[in-house]
Amino acid sequence: MAEQTGGDPLFESHDPIFNRKELLHVGHVPDEDRIVGRDDEIQSVAAEVGAITRGDPPNNVMIYGKTGTGKSLISRHVATRAQDAARDNDIDCGVLYVDCSEANTETRTTRQLALSLKKQTDYQQNIPLRGVGTMEYYQHIWGILEDCFDAVIVILDEIDKLDNSNILMQLSRAREARKTDAYIGVIGISNKVQYRETLDERIDSSFGHRELFFHPYDASQLREIMRNREDAFQPDVLEGGTIELCAALAAKKHGDARKAIEILKEAGELARRTGSETVSEDHIQQAQEVAEINRIEELTSGATVHAKLALYALASCIITGDRETYKTREVYERYVGICELVATDPITENGLYRQLKEQAFLGVIESEKTGGGRSQGSYLLHRLVTDPKHIVKAVRRDSSLDDLPTYDRLCETSPSTGSHDVDLTSFS
């Protein structure tokens, strides 16, 4: 029966495009030797937690950076290396990783910490999955640390998704409060710059921490990252210049390594679907277009209604106006009109400004400070990084906002009609 597999002509026995496609999967964790372009960041993270390997107390660290800049990858990489280095010095160092976008409450996070500690040791006590509170999970955590570890590195990824930051206090005070003698080093990761501002208000000085910023990759780093995975494809399938083009496009838009790799994969799929034997620059261009729409949809789907309305307002200014950039005030005026359309109370101009700033950090828009002349002072000009069409489409996906005018509808009031300052209420 086994002979039949591979013999059925319905299924190709050999993939003409991909050789090791898993190298391009979103969840794929590359080997150490495939991590490139982040030496300084690796050094910096190691400098903060590295004391653990010498039996000394580590620093806590917060890592900020846009999506796809290697924050999760580098954190796990450094933590694992620290664990190995500690072992060489006879120090038992645990590594714990929690994705707080899933474990988004203190109870869930502590439960996961306790369970993964138990898994790494021969701790005998039963840890209930439900019906107990945070305190009980902490008891297990302290108990296991006390019995089995000299130190532990706790990575709290997407930490901004946690509903409160008590865990940071608990972990940083544990030694002081004599819960455990083990050293605990926390690596917190967030791609929300706003979290940084609220963090200081939320935690007290016991969580002393350093901050690191990971910057988007430039074209040459992205090129290296992709070159290192070229063997995902069959030999000679990638035409000359395709990786360079992919890197250039991705660097221009966002500098996101994950997206760059996705474009490469999508281009391969496209080539296969169309029966092409090679992946061409044309495939990359098409794949980039698809990836861009997906990227905007992902970024906006998690945004608040007001962030979406702010983006929509800027997009509609661009579509119906004759400029690419708009001042905060102009976007705000349009936004207020749009709020009326969807029967939502507008936030303040300053609130809107903060929303725009957040979107600029995420890479959906770019904001630039401009001197407005001697009498006017300086002001911010906002532009969309992407095609306004994508924004309108993505925002209207929100079922509470699908009454907003479509892209085509907005185009009907474009500059050629002579009226830029369209009264948006007339659409309703």
Ligand X SMILES: Nc1ncnc2c1ncn2[C@@H]1O[C@H](COP(=O)(O)OP(=O)(O)OP(=O)(O)O)[C@@H](O)[C@H]1O
Tokens 């796809």, residue?
68
Q: How far is the CB of 117 from ligand X (least distance, A)?
A: 23
- 316's contact among ligand X, Mg ion, none, with CB below 5 to 8 A by partner kind, is none
Site string for ligand X, 238-267 (x = CB under 6 A): -------------------xx---------
Beta partners for residue 379, in sequence order:
370
Site for ligand X in 206-235 (CB under 6 A): 225
- 77's contact among ligand X, Mg ion, none, with CB below 5 to 8 A by partner kind, is none
Tell which one of 109, 191, 328, 355 touches ligand X (CB under 6 A): 191
Beta-carbon contacts of 85 under 8 Å, excluding residues fewer than 6 positions away, are 50, 53
Residue 70 within binding range of ligand X, rule CB under 6 A: yes
Q: How far is the CB of 221 from ligand X (least distance, A)?
A: 7
Beta-carbon contacts of 318 under 8 Å, excluding residues fewer than 6 positions away, are 324, 326, 383, 384, 388
Site for Mg ion in 62-121 (CB under 5 A): 72
The answer to whether 59 and 209 are in contact (CB under 8 A) is yes
Candidates 65-73, 167-175, 201-209, 387-395; binding stretch for ligand X (CB under 6 A)? 65-73
Q: For residues 72 and 386, which CB has a smaller minimum distance to Mg ion in the complex?
A: 72
Tokens 């300053």, residue?
350
Q: Side chain identity at 55, as an amino acid letter? A: G
Q: Side chain identity at 118, as an amino acid letter? A: K
Distance CA 315, CA 42 (A): 38
* SS3 (DSSP) at 255: coil
Q: For residues 86 and 225, which CB has a smaller minimum distance to Mg ion in the complex?
A: 225
Q: For residues 35 and 103, which CB has a smaller minimum distance to ligand X in the complex?
A: 35
Q: For residues 212 and 313, which CB has a smaller minimum distance to Mg ion in the complex?
A: 212
Q: How far is the CB of 245 from ligand X (least distance, A)?
A: 19
* SS3 (DSSP) at 109: helix
Q: For residues 254 and 389, which CB has a smaller minimum distance to ligand X in the complex?
A: 254
Q: Read off the DSSP letter of residue 233.
A: B
* SS3 (DSSP) at 63: strand
Q: For residues 183 and 217, which CB has a smaller minimum distance to ligand X in the complex?
A: 217
Q: For residues 35 and 392, which CB has a smaller minimum distance to ligand X in the complex?
A: 35
Beta partners for residue 380, in sequence order:
369
Site for ligand X in 97-126 (CB under 6 A): none
Q: How far is the CB of 278 from ligand X (least distance, A)?
A: 24
Distance CA 223, CA 260 (A): 9
Q: For residues 60 and 72, which CB has a smaller minimum distance to Mg ion in the complex?
A: 72
Site string for ligand X, 5-44 (x = CB under 6 A): -----------------------x-x---xxxxx------
Token pair listed for 112: 């996961």
Q: How far is the CB of 368 from ligand X (least distance, A)?
A: 24
Beta-carbon contacts of 408 under 8 Å, excluding residues fewer than 6 positions away, are none
Q: For residues 48 and 160, which CB has a smaller minimum distance to ligand X in the complex?
A: 160
Of 309, 325, 328, give the one whose Cα is nearest residue 378.
Answer: 328
Number of residues that bind ligand X (CB under 6 A): 19
255 exposure class (CB count in 10 Å sphere: 0-12, 13-18, 19+)? buried
Of 359, 357, 351, give the one whose Cα is nearest residue 335.
Answer: 351
Token pair listed for 233: 């494809």
Q: How far is the CB of 141 from ligand X (least distance, A)?
A: 25
Token pair listed for 361: 């950090």
Q: How far is the CB of 153 from Mg ion (least distance, A)?
A: 16
Candidates 62-70, 195-203, 246-254, 370-378; binding stretch for ligand X (CB under 6 A)? 62-70
Q: Can you give the binding site for Mg ion, defined by CB under 5 A?
A: 72
Q: Can you give the binding site for ligand X, defined by CB under 6 A?
A: 28, 30, 34-38, 65, 67-73, 191, 225, 257-258
